[in-house]
Structure 1
């Protein structure tokens, strides 16, 4: 262990990088998704029909609410990282999941041979921040050694958080509609 401190830029930087990335998604996902579902459905027939139906009904308010819920999750992970000097398993898993999320965006863009929401900030923000933060954690001697199961766990955690964010958003908006 080198004893070097992990600064706030490493831990709170996860939240900052996430905000920049999700601003791109907020600006592009709902409308682009609805417009492109017919072509995507034809191009990727192996995707279950219920996924396409859900994509067609995703509105801007629900997406923005889900992004807010995810922001709370990423903020919690960043705070845990800050409080533990980067040692937090939650923080390191979130950092891993964030980086893998960026790789997935780039893979999506390659699969459709064009722009997909999130594919601009992934190589410009997500991956550089993730690699830099992991380097700082490594220098400080607090980065857990990389293991394939951590990549799987990070991806699963990111997917679960995404699904949970959308479930919470749908419920929150449904409750708001019922009370108005």
Structure 2
């Protein structure tokens, strides 16, 4: 297998793995939240009211539009990775954020003591792909070292991308 083939599987594979994972979220996310909002409020009474209002306000159109915005972000990261042979900090940050967000899904499922949207594909797609891709980057000598600070930044960037996606998704859903 040539180096360019390895790089394209590693880099564009991020987008493919993300698309498979987000298909699960699109299929189950908004409905799951609507069905489980009363249980979540009861289980986590200290959560701010603004959290419950925000969760309850997301409809299917807004959620799908937000996923479309995130597709542009993840797709851009995959292209940046492919263009640089996996060296792009944007690509590697997105890859790390993708893997970490898979762990967040598993933590959410543990917190609610049940299945949550994204929890099914996290252990079979998100986390394995991230570990595999990082291993390929490491063997190619292009993987940037990750420190504790990088983990915090990766989680913050993933959360920020999610917030931006939902803000733009809301605008798109209300204007089209």
Q: What range describes the TM-score normalised by the shorter chain of this pair? A: over 0.9
> Aligned equivalents of 2:98 and 2:42: distance in 1?
29
Name segments (4+ residues, structure 1) moved above 6 Å: none
| Structure 1 spans left out of the alignment, 5+ residues | none
1:20 aligns with 2:20: yes
Shift of 1:175: 2.2
Query: Distance in 1 between the 2:38 and 2:25 partners?
Result: 20
Which residue is equivalent to 2:65?
A: 65
Within 1, Cα distance between the matches of 2:162 and 2:72?
Answer: 12
How far residue 149 of structure 1 moved from its aligned partner, in angstroms, is: 1.0
Partners of 2:173 and 2:31 in 1: CA distance: 19
Q: Which residue is equivalent to 2:117?
A: 117
Q: CA deviation at 1:54?
A: 1.5
Give 1:56-95 correspondences, 5 Å limit. Answer: 56-95=56-95
Q: CA deviation at 1:172?
A: 1.5
In 1: Cα distance, 2:47 partner to 2:86 partner: 38
Q: Work out the CA distance in 1 between the residues paired with 2:110 and 2:67.
A: 24
Query: Structure 1 length as normaliser, TM-score?
Result: 0.94
Q: Given the two structures, how large is their TM-score scaled by the length of structure 2?
A: 0.96
The residue aligned with 2:101 is 101
CA distance in 1, matches of 2:126, 2:152: 18
Q: How far apart, in 1, do the equivalents of 2:46 and 2:13 lie? A: 37
Q: How many residue pairs align between the two structures?
A: 173
Show CA shifts across 1:106-130 (max 9, x none): 0111111110000000000000000
* 1:127 alignment counterpart: 127
Partner of 1:148: 148
What CA RMSD, in Å, does the superposition of the two structures yield over aligned residues? 1.0
For residues 63-121 of structure 1, the C-alpha deviation after alignment (integer angstroms, 9 at most, x for no partner) is 00000000000000000000000000000000000000000000111111110000000
Deviations 1:111-168 (A, max 9, x none): 1111000000000000000000000000000000121111111101100000000000
Partner of 2:8: 8
Which consecutive residues of structure 2, in runs of 5 or more, have no partner in the other structure? none
SS in 2 for 1:39: helix
1:76 alignment partner, SS class: helix
